[in-house]
Structure 1
Amino acid sequence: MQKRLFLITMAAGCLFMSSCVSKKALEGCQNENKELTGEIKELSRNYQEAKEQLAASRSRVASLEDQLEVQKKGAAALQQALDKSLTASNQTTVNISKLVDQINESNQYIRHLVEVKSKSDSLNMVLTNNLTRSLSREEMKEVDVQVLKGVVYISLADNMLYKSGSYEINDRAAETLSKIAKIIMDYKDYDVLVEGNTDDVPISRQNIRNNWDLSCLRASSVVQYLQTHYGVDPKRLTAGGRGEYNPLASNGTEVGRTRNRRTQIIITPKLDQFMDLIDKAPEAN
């Protein structure tokens, strides 16, 4: 009898120990699964960001290739003019040496344009990457950064910048604007246009007649905030408002109206740099 009781006790103990080991193994697998799930989500986000950057790079490459094609056609036209001049050399005296110099100058100018375009694209990519890296995930939900035709557009939702129905900067905006201001300060050869946009819902408040007023006042508030709080040179800043007349989406839905209520900070190379570039173009006879 005692022997049977001993055997039953031993069997129960073995079952209990086996149950404990299985539970610990299960918990370990569950924890490992959570970690792997988190890593997969992070890898997916990084993959998406890489895809977006690749698409932007391909777009810039396509634009540059189009410009090169135009310039090649110009060079071909000059070469054709040279060929015609050589053919008609028995009838007309042509300064071949000068024409060759003009072709060389044109080719040099084409190379200069390509170098400037490439430098501009590289600077804009670095600027965009620096800005997006400095913004938190929460900020990136309300801040959209794009590069279009060599210009950097930073679009901010109105509810993260202003008090409701107002043009006063709220406390939430301070940290985000400080990061944007740092980028602006780092790139001193760029001008900054702050552009206010609204939806088409009419507004009528004291000292605000309509959406034109509201969009201009909001842009002016951001410009003055960048100047007074972060020391951005006011000579580089321009404030403008477009009211309800530059929508991104239909104002027929709340989602569309939310997208349209935005402020854009547009960062561009200074205009006088482009004018200097034009002045360096070779003269054509």
Structure 2
Amino acid sequence: MRKILLLSVSAMLLLSSCVSKKLYTDLQAKQKETQDLLNSATVKLNSCLEDRASATARVEAMKDQLADLKKNNTALIKSSQDLTELTTKGATNLEKSLETLKERDLKITRLQDAITRKDSVTLALVTSLKREVGINDPDIEVNVEKGVVFISIADKLLFQSGSYNVTSKAKDVLAKVAKVINSKPDFEAMIEGHTDSQSYSKGVLVDNWDLSVKRSTSIIRVLQSLDVNPSQLIAAGRSSYVPLADNDTAANRAKNRRTRVVILPKIDQFYDMIEKEMKNLEAGNN
């Protein structure tokens, strides 16, 4: 009985040993399979994590791009608004510039008209002066210089050499000059005495300055005696400092000895005219 029991136990142990080894082998196989699955899952997990990180990075990049796009869009909208504002201002400025150009054109036209009228008046005045003087003499010249009318009379028609006493024949010429001045009551007449460069000193006259001025005042007295308004007359002497030619010959010195009658608007009226014109221009701008 004891032997049978020992045999049974031995058989059971042997059988148990065989079953456990097979189970162990199966478990090992199962473990390997599970480990493989775990490794595969780990690889996939790591891949998914990498994909997620990459996707997250792309999302962040897209967010940054979106923010930049929004910023650029805002800037474009502002630029568009600024451009619209600038375009509006530009159109306004262009319109103002065109108005300014029109005003300038108008001013230029008015000035051109004024110059044309002035030239017409000057031409008429010169024609009138020549007609009034009525002497076709090379020693009497009527012309216009810088808008001012001049009557230039050679001294040989007015004075003896070295004298400031007006000759009797000169009074015929001066009578015609007086008639012209009297016909222009709104003008002034400046009588300019001119000498040559040869020094002169006689009696109370110290030099050519004295002689030129004395000849001017002598003519003025004759004109006043011919009923010329003395308020229109201006005495002036230029001595030898405004020559027509070099004082190197007798003929040239004779040219330089002359008296000029300068017909010009009265200074106060001239400035009144300018002030009136400026007011007209300012009124046109408003």
Please state which band the TM-score falls in when normalised by the shorter chain. Answer: 0.5 to 0.7
Q: Distance in 2 between matches of 1:243 and 1:273?
A: 29
* Residue of structure 1 aligned with 2:206, choices 204, 209, 218: 209
Stretch of structure 1 that moved more, 233-242 or 249-258:
233-242
TM-score, normalization: structure 2?
A: 0.60
Tell me which residue corresponds to 1:155: 152
Please state if 1:251 is matched with 2:247: yes
Change (3 A) 1:158 1:277: same
- Residues 196, 243 of structure 1: 8 Å contact kept: yes
Deviation at 1:257, TM superposition (A): 0.4
Tell me which residue corresponds to 2:9: none
- Secondary structure of the corresponding residue to residue 242 of structure 1: strand
Deviation at 1:108, TM superposition (A): 3.6
Tell me which residue corresponds to 2:121: 123
Please state if 1:183 is matched with 2:169: no
Q: Distance in 1 between matches of 2:100 and 2:211?
A: 53
- Residues 190, 267 of structure 1: 8 Å contact kept: yes
Q: Distance in 2 between matches of 1:171 and 1:108?
A: 54
Q: Distance in 1 between matches of 2:156 and 2:87?
A: 72
Give structure 2 stretches of 5+ with no counterpart: 1-84
Q: Distance in 2 between matches of 1:189 and 1:183?
A: 12
* Paired letter, 2:108: I
Tell me which residue corresponds to 1:269: 265
- Residues 127, 183 of structure 1: 8 Å contact kept: no
Change (3 A) 1:207 1:148: same
Please state if 1:112 is matched with 2:95: no
Q: Distance in 2 between matches of 1:180 and 1:119?
A: 24
Q: Distance in 2 between matches of 1:88 and 1:235?
A: 62
Deviation at 1:169, TM superposition (A): 1.2
Change (3 A) 1:112 1:92: closer
Deviation at 1:273, TM superposition (A): 4.2
Q: Distance in 2 between matches of 1:240 and 1:185?
A: 20
Deviation at 1:95, TM superposition (A): 7.8
Please state if 1:197 is matched with 2:194: yes
Deviation at 1:188, TM superposition (A): 2.2
Runs of 4 or more, structure 1, over 4 Å off, are: 91-105
Change (3 A) 1:107 1:235: farther
- Secondary structure of the corresponding residue to residue 184 of structure 1: helix
Give structure 1 stretches of 5+ with no counterpart: 1-86
Q: Deviations over 1:186-240 (max 9, x none)?
A: 122222111111001111111100001100111112122212x222222222111
* Paired letter, 1:109: K
